[in-house]
Amino acid sequence: MTDRTGTEARDTAGALPPALRGLTGAEVAERVARGEVNDVPVTSSRSLAEIVRSNIFTRFNAIIGVLFLIILVVGPIQDGLFGFVIIANTGIGIFQEWRAKKTLDGLAVIGEAKPVVRRDGVPTRVPTSGIVLGDLMELGPGDKVVVDGEVAEADNLEVDESLLTGEADPVVKHPGDPVMSGSFVVAGGGAFTATKVGREAYAAQLAEEASRFTLVHSELRSGISRILKYVTWMMVPTAIGLIVSQLVLETDDWREAVRRMVGGIVPMVPEGLVLLTSVAFAIGVVRLGRKQCLVQELPAIEGLARVDVVCLDKTGTLTEGGMDVSALRLLDGLPEPYVRQVLGAVSASDPRPNPTLAAVAEAYPAPGDGWHVTEALPFSSARKYSGAAFTEPDGDSSTWLLGAPDVLLPGGDRALAEIDDLNAQGLRVLLLARARKGLADPAVTASVTPAALVVLEQRLRPDAGDTLRYFAEQDVQAKVISGDNAVSVGAVAGKLGLPGAHAPVDARRLPADRGEMAAVLDRGTVFGRVTPQQKRDMVGALQSRGHNVAMTGDGVNDVLALKDADIGVAMGSGSEATRAVAQIVLLNNSFATLPSVVAEGRRVIGNITRVATLFLTKTVYSVLLALLVVIWHAPYPFLPRHLTLLSTLTIGVPAFFLALAPNKERAKPQFVRRVMRYSLPAGVIAGVATFVTYLLARHHYQGPDALPAETSAATLTLFLIAMWVLAIVARPYTWWRVVLVLAMGAAFLVVLAVPWLQDFFALRLVGTQAPWTAVAVAVAASAVLEVVWRRVYRADSDEQGTAPDRP
User: How many whole angstroms separate alpha carbon 317 and alpha carbon 483?
Assistant: 13
Tell which phi-psi region holds residue 709, choosing left (phi > 0), alpha (psi between -120 and 50) or beta.
alpha
Q: What Å distances lie between residue 116 and 20, 25, 644, CA to CA?
A: 14, 15, 60
Using CA atoms of 756, 762, 764, 770 in order, give the dihedral in degrees to the nearest 10.
-170
User: How many whole angstroms separate alpha carbon 204 and alpha carbon 472?
Assistant: 41
Reduced to 3 states (helix: H, G, I; strand: E, B; else coil), residue 19 is helix
Q: Tell whether omega for the bond before 76 is within 30 degrees of 0, i.e. cis.
A: yes
Buried b (16+ CB within 10 A) or exposed e, 613-629: bbbbbbbbbbbbbbbbb
User: Quick one: 705 exposed, middle or buried, by C-beta within 10 A (0-12, 13-18, 19+)?
Assistant: exposed
User: How many whole angstroms separate alpha carbon 511 and alpha carbon 519?
Assistant: 10
Which among 482, 115, 429, 563 is positioned nearest to 313, based on CA atoms? Answer: 482
CA atoms within 13 A on the CB side of 495: 20
DSSP class of 530? -
Helical ranges in 500-593 per DSSP H: 514-523, 532-544, 559-564, 576-581
Q: Is 313 a catalytic residue?
A: yes
DSSP class of 349? T
User: How many whole angstroms separate alpha carbon 216 and alpha carbon 567?
Assistant: 8
User: Quick one: 664 exposed, middle or buried, by C-beta within 10 A (0-12, 13-18, 19+)?
Assistant: exposed
Using CA atoms of 173, 179, 180, 185 in order, give the dihedral in degrees to the nearest 10.
50
| Inter-residue contact 657 to 603 (CB < 8 Å) | no
Q: Which of 79, 143, 160, 313 is catalytic?
A: 313
Buried b (16+ CB within 10 A) or exposed e, 349-381: bbbbbbbbbbbbbebbeebeeebeeeebbbbbb
User: How many whole angstroms separate alpha carbon 583 and alpha carbon 255?
Assistant: 54
| Inter-residue contact 156 to 187 (CB < 8 Å) | yes
User: How many whole angstroms separate alpha carbon 235 and alpha carbon 230?
Assistant: 9
| Inter-residue contact 187 to 141 (CB < 8 Å) | yes
Q: What Å distances lie between residue 801 and 474, 788, 793, 795, CA to CA?
A: 14, 20, 12, 10
Amino acid (1-letter code) at residue 487: V
Q: What Å distances lie between residue 779 and 291, 384, 613, 686, CA to CA?
A: 47, 72, 20, 11
Which helix (H) or strand (E) segment holds residue 449: the answer is: strand 448-460
Amino acid (1-letter code) at residue 780: A
Amino acid (1-letter code) at residue 699: H
**Is the sign of the CA dihedral 553, 557, 562, 565 positive or negative?**
negative
Entry field: residues in the chain: 807
Angle between helix 594-632 and 671-700 (nearest 10): 40
Reduced to 3 states (helix: H, G, I; strand: E, B; else coil), residue 328 is strand
Reduced to 3 states (helix: H, G, I; strand: E, B; else coil), residue 142 is coil
Question: Which residues are catalytically annotated?
Answer: 313
